Amino acid sequence: MSDRDPEIRVTESQTLDWHDGDMPYSQKFGDHFYCRTDGRLECGHTFLAGNGLPERWGLPERWKSHRTFRIGELGFGTGLNFCETWRQWKLFRPAGAKLHFTSFELYPMQRDEIDRALTRWPEIAAERQAVVKAWPDEPAGHIVIDADAQTRLTVVCGPALEGVSAASADFDAWFLDGFAPSRNPDMWSPDIMQALHDKTLPGGTFGTYAAAGFVRRNLQAAGFTVERRPGFAGKREMLCGIKPAP
């Protein structure tokens, strides 16, 4: 945290502090929106590698049954995970394949907040600019952005359980990126974990920085096979797992 007092920005949904100039911090949940070491690299370690991506995109057998890869995310936040995923998808996607990235977010940020939070990463400048340009003035409902001919972003604004329960049951991978379980336990409840499992294709996966015992147990009780792996930037553990095929 900077030695100076953080700037405070009040929105309709929640109050943000800005630490070190451009790092958003939620007063409501008492937590940062991404890892303070490097949120973009954490995305690669926890969510992409945790789901076996981008390697799975290169498997020919994956595309035999359907040509869209579905990623679901709990907590859109700044859009960092989408921007980094889209960047890597453009590098590794097969011709004609499509990515549909669906995120569930109760408190969508404003356009200028997303722009400010992501400016620290020049690697995703093009992706940030595209999302910011397409972002609505008053984010609500279902925000649908056709990022390019092979990539669609949908942000479902509202309670996560309600949104996930209404979604189609064809997700290939999940990024579980809500605020810390100790700060926002509702996001990691048995009901939400069961809904995630129910909406996941057999062989579908998840990755999360969270390693709390109750999160692991809720995922296992829902039907996922759960694996512990070393966390990012010195964090002892993270969780990833798979929905076993019948």
Which residues lie closer than 8 Å to 23 by C-beta, 6 or more apart? 32, 33, 34, 36, 117, 120
Paired tokens of 243: 């929905």
Mean pLDDT by 10 residues, the chain (246 residues): 34 57 56 66 95 96 92 95 98 97 94 92 97 97 98 97 97 88 86 98 96 95 97 87 94
Give SS3 for 79: coil
Residue 143: domain span:
16-243
What type of residue is 154?
T
The pLDDT of residue 177: 82
10 lies in some domain: no
The model carries a pTM of 0.88
What pLDDT is attached to residue 2? 32
Q: What is the DSSP letter of 123?
A: G
Question: Is 2 within the bounds of a domain?
Answer: no
The pLDDT value given to residue 208: 95
Among residues 93, 104, 89, the alpha carbon closest in space to that of 154 is found at: 104
Taking only the tens place, the pLDDT of each residue in 74-116 is 999 999 999 999 999 999 999 999 999 999 999 999 999 999 9
Question: What is the Cα gyration radius of the chain?
Answer: 17
pLDDT at 110: 92
- What's the domain count of the chain? 1
Tell me whether residue 5 is in a domain: no
| CATH code for the domain in which residue 161 is found | 3.40.50.150
Whether 101 maps to a domain, the answer reads yes
Amino acid identity for residue 184 in this structure: N
- What 8-state DSSP symbol labels residue 62? G
Say if residues 125 and 83 touch (Cβ distance below 8 Å): no
Measured CA distances, 170 to 107, 201, 221 (Å): 25, 5, 20
Q: How many CA atoms lie within 13 A of 157 on its CB side?
A: 14
Q: Which two tokens stand for residue 138?
A: 């008053």
DSSP count for the chain of H helices, then E strands: 7, 12
Percent helix, percent strand, percent coil in the chain, to nearest 5: 35, 30, 35
Structural domain contains residue 136: yes
Residue 50 lies in a domain: yes
Q: What three-state secondary structure class fits 129? A: helix
Q: Where are the beta strands (DSSP E) in the chain?
A: 7-10, 15-19, 23-26, 31-32, 68-74, 98-105, 142-148, 151-157, 171-176, 200-208, 225-229, 238-242
User: Alpha-carbon distance 167 to 160, whole Å?
Assistant: 11
Q: Is residue 87 part of a domain?
A: yes
Residue 174: helix, strand or coil by DSSP? strand
